[in-house]
Structure 1
Amino acid sequence: MISRMQFMALALLGLASASPNILDSLRGQTITAVLGGLDLTAEAACACKLLLNSYSDMILFPTSANYTAETKLFWDIRSDLSPACIFQPDKADEVADGIKILSGCDAQFAVRGGGHMNYPGSNNIDGGVLITLNKLNSYKVENDTIDVGPGMTWYDVYAALDPHGRIAIGGRLKTIGVPGLTLIGGVHYFINKYGFAMDNVVSYDIVLGNGTQVTANDTTNQDLFWALKGGANNFGLVTKFTLKTYSIPLISTTIQTFNESGIYDLVKATCDLASLDDADPIAAGSIITIQYNATTKAASGSILGVQEGISNPPSQFANFSAIPGPIKLNNVTTLKQWGSDKVTPNQMFRVMFSHKTIVPDADRLYSIYQAWRAAVDQIADVQGLYPTFVMNTVAAGAARVGQTNGIGNVWGLKVEPTIWWQFSTGWDLAQDDLRVTAWSRQLTEHLHGINRKLGLARDHIYMGDAGEWQDPFASFPEANVERMRAIRSAYDPSGTFSRLNWGGFKLGF
Structure 2
Amino acid sequence: MTSLHLLTLSLAGLVAANWNVSVAGTQCACAQIGSSYPDKLLFPTSANYTVEATSYWDIRDNLHPSCIFLPTSAKEVATAVKILTHCDAHFAVRGGGHMNFPGSNNIDNGVLIALSGMDQFTVHKETIDVGPGMTWYDVYSALDPYGRIAIGGRLKTIGVPGLTLIGGVHYFINKYGFAMDNVVRYEVVLGNGTQVVASATSHPDLFWALKGGANNFGIVTKFTLKTFAIPKISTTIQSYNESGICDYITALCDLVKLDEPNPIAAGGVFTINYNATTKVSTALLIGVQEGVSRPPSQFANFTAIPGQTKIHNVTTGKQFASGLITPNQMFRVMFSHHTVQPLPDTLYSIYQAWKRAVDEISDVQGLYPTFIMNLSPAGAARVAKTNGIGNVWGLDEQPMILWQFSTGWDLASDDIRVQTWSRRLAESLHAINKKKGISSEFVYMGDAGEWQDPFAGFPEANVQRMKAVRAAYDPLGTFSRLNWGGFKLGF
The two structures have a TM-score, normalised by structure 1, of: 0.93
**Residue of structure 2 aligned with 1:83, choices 53, 60, 65:** 65
Map 1:143-162 to 2 at 5 A: 143-162=125-144
Tell me if the contact between 1:28 and 1:42 (Cα under 8 Å) persists in the aligned partners. Answer: no
Give the structure 2 partner of residue 30 of structure 1: 20
Distance 1:299 1:29, change over 3 A: closer
Task: Find the partner of 1:358 among 335, 340, 350.
Answer: 340
Paired position in structure 2 for 1:128: 110
Taking a change above 3 Å as real, the CA distance of residues 359 and 28 of structure 1, as seen in their structure-2 partners, is: closer
Does residue 203 (structure 1) correspond to residue 185 (structure 2)? The answer is yes
What is the distance in 2 between the residues matched to 1:266 and 1:393?
Answer: 13
Instruction: Kindly indicate whether residue 197 of structure 2 is the aligned counterpart of residue 215 of structure 1.
Output: yes
1:190 is matched with which residue? 172
Runs of 4+ in 1 over 2 A off after TM superposition: 27-31
- Distance in 2 (CA, whole Å) between partners of 1:331 and 1:219 is 42
Q: Residue 193 of structure 1 contacts residue 397 of structure 1 at CA under 8 Å; is this kept in 2?
A: yes
Unaligned 5+ runs, structure 2:
1-16
Q: What is the DSSP-based 3-state SS (H/G/I as helix, E as strand, rest coil) of the residue aligned with 1:124?
A: coil
The answer as to 2:293 corresponding to 1:303 is no
- Shift in Å, 1:406: 0.3
1:96 aligns with 2:78: yes
Equivalent positions of 1:243-392 (< 5 A) are 243-392=225-374
How many angstroms does 1:30 deviate by?
2.7
Residue aligning to 1:23: none
1:104 is paired with a residue whose SS is helix
Give, in whole Å, the separation in 2 of the partners of 1:490 and 1:119.
29
Deviation sequence 1:30-57 (CA, Å, 0-9, x none):
39xxxxxxxx811100000001111000
For the residue of structure 1 that corresponds to 2:447, the secondary structure is coil
Q: Which amino acid aligns with 1:180?
A: G
Q: CA deviation at 1:29?
A: 5.5
Of 382, 400, 405, the residue aligned with 1:423 is 405
Q: Which amino acid aligns with 1:292?
A: Y
Equivalent residue for 1:405?
387
Q: CA deviation at 1:70?
A: 0.6
Letter in 1 for 2:60: R
- 474-483 vs 453-462, greater mean Cα deviation: 453-462
- Relative contact order (C-alpha < 8 Å, sep 6+): which is higher? 2
- 1:400-445 per-residue CA deviation (whole Å, 9 max, x = no partner) reads 0010100000000010100000000000111111111111111001
Q: State the Cα RMSD in Å.
A: 1.0
Please state whether the residue corresponding to 1:305 is helix, strand or coil.
strand
Contact 1:250 1:308 (8 Å CA) reproduced: yes
Q: Partner letter of residue 452 of structure 1?
A: K
Structure 1 residue aligned with 2:6: none
Q: CA deviation at 1:456?
A: 1.1
Normalised by the length of structure 2, the TM-score is 0.96
Give the deviation of 1:453 after TM superposition.
1.7
Distance 2:33 2:430 in 1: 47
Mapped contact 1:28–1:43 kept (Cα < 8 A): no
User: Could you tell me how far 1:119 is from its partner in structure 2?
Assistant: 2.0
Task: Please give the secondary structure, in 2, of the residue aligned with 1:345.
Answer: coil
- Which amino acid is the alignment partner of residue 425 of structure 1? T
Does the aligned pair in 2 maintain the 1:109–1:129 contact within 8 Å?
yes
Cα distance 1:87–1:281, how it changes in 2: closer, same or farther (>3 A)?
same
Task: Give the structure 2 partner of residue 6 of structure 1.
Answer: none
The 1-side partners of 2:404 and 2:373 are apart by: 6
- Matched-pair identity in %: 70
- Indicate if the aligned counterparts of 1:289 and 1:301 stay in contact, CA closer than 8 A: yes
**Residue aligned with 1:319, SS:** helix
CA offsets, 1:470-508, max 9 Å, x none?
000000000000000010000000000000001110001
Q: CA deviation at 1:326?
A: 1.3
